[in-house]
Amino acid sequence: MAGEFELIRRFFQEATSCRSDVLLGIGDDCALLQPLVGSALAVSSDTLVSGRHFTPDVDPEALGHKALAVNLSDLAAMGAEPAWVSLCLTLPQADEEWLAGFTRGFAGLADGCGVQLVGGDTTRGPLSVSVMVQGFVDPARALRRGAARAGDLVYVSGTLGDAGLALRCRQDPHMQRWLHPALEERLDRPLPRLGLGMRLGSFSRCAIDISDGLGADLGHVCEMSGVGALLDLERLPMSDHVRAYVEATGDWPVVLSAGDDYELVFTVPPQHAAVFDEATAAWDVPVTRVGVIEQAGGLRARAPDGGIIEEVSGGYEHFRA
Ligand code: ADP
Ligand code: MG
């Protein structure tokens, strides 16, 4: 056992590039980290469990990427700049090939985002991956879920429903014709919107990442802010693949309620909207205005025919054509 875990440590010891604020990395009882003076430390963790969040035969490289991506997405949704990550792995066995793939996916994303792996734990047991990320944010610019106000405009980044459609296609043999590699890429290798999150601090006080679907996650914002929202279904940004699917089937729920896209939904006060729209034209991530925050609680949607659908977060079924 000791030998195997020695091997695992070797896999992770130099997996990622070094940051100057890591005084002591992997190998001692603790890592020693130098937080940025004047910033708050933003901390988040997420666990992925075999059989619940992925299938046991998952591509280890995709799993390594996704386990980190879903955590970094939380930093993005806070407007934080990522710095450090720790990794707790429970493995049925120390399979070198599997670990090499996992590390490639994990470290590839970490290096791309300037994050250093600074520690973790390795135990034997049913496969699960637990990640904790830490980053920096000016607390006055942090994007909180409770900061939406009536009249704010609601925006989302990227496109919605890609990952959800890919997942449904994988689970349902009758859906095969809608599957496309671009959709699978979005499901397996989501890209956290870190750059966007950090820039939003100049325009927004409120964001959440879309892990459970726009309806559910915007619902959390509404609840914590004591407000409601009206979404414009026709404005929801879709990839060509999802649009073709939705137009053929009327399956709007895939855009509203399917999770795993890891886009950001955020609010911008109306007085900042013009400046914001102008600024975003030069950004590499598309953002789309999809609705407005309202005083009355609950989530409503304006259908393409102009009718208002009440209680969107409850029953998605009445969207079906
Ligand atoms: P301890 O007995 O003090 O808990 P461990 O043997 O678990 O120490 O770990 C030794 C070192 O290796 C520590 O610095 C720990 O952070 C690091 N480490 C162990 N597993 C991992 C992992 N999966 N990823 C990154 N670092 C790890
Ligand atoms: Mg340990």
* Crossing angle between the packed helical segments 2-13 and 96-112, to the nearest 10 degrees: 30
pLDDT score of 95 more than 70: yes
Residue closest via CA to ligand 1's atom 12 equals: 27
Contact criterion met (CB below 8 Å) for 143 and 197: yes
pLDDT score of 320 more than 50: no
Contact criterion met (CB below 8 Å) for 60 and 50: no
CA of 129 to the centre of ligand 2 (A): 14
Give residue-wise pLDDT tens across range 157-174: 999 999 999 999 999 999
Residue closest via CA to ligand 1's atom 7 equals: 121
Q: Which residues line ligand 1 (CB under 6 A)?
A: 9, 12, 26-29, 87, 89, 117, 119-122
DSSP state of 234: G
Residue closest via CA to ligand 1's atom 24 equals: 120
Q: Among candidates 280, 318, 286, which has minimal Cα distance to 301?
A: 318
- Calculate mean pLDDT across residues 46-75: 95
Q: What is the pTM of this model?
A: 0.94
Residue closest via CA to ligand 1's atom 1 equals: 29
Cβ neighbourhood burial of 161 (10 Å; 0-12, 13-18, 19+): buried
Residue 45, both tokens: 């963790």
Give residue-wise pLDDT tens across range 130-148: 999 999 999 999 999 999 9
pLDDT of residue 313: 63
What span, in angstroms and rounded, lies between the C-alpha atoms of 9 and 166? 34
Would you place residue 4 in the very low, low, confident or very high pLDDT band (cuts 50, 70, 90)? confident
Contact criterion met (CB below 8 Å) for 162 and 241: yes
Residue 174, both tokens: 């009758």
CA of 86 to the centre of ligand 2 (A): 12
The residue to mutate among 8, 88, 121, 129, having the most atoms of ligand 1 within 8 angstroms of its beta carbon, is: 121
Quick one: which ligand is closest to 11's CA?
1
pLDDT of residue 89: 96
pLDDT of residue 234: 93
pLDDT of residue 138: 97
- Outline where DSSP puts E strands in 50-202: 81-91, 116-124, 128-137, 153-157
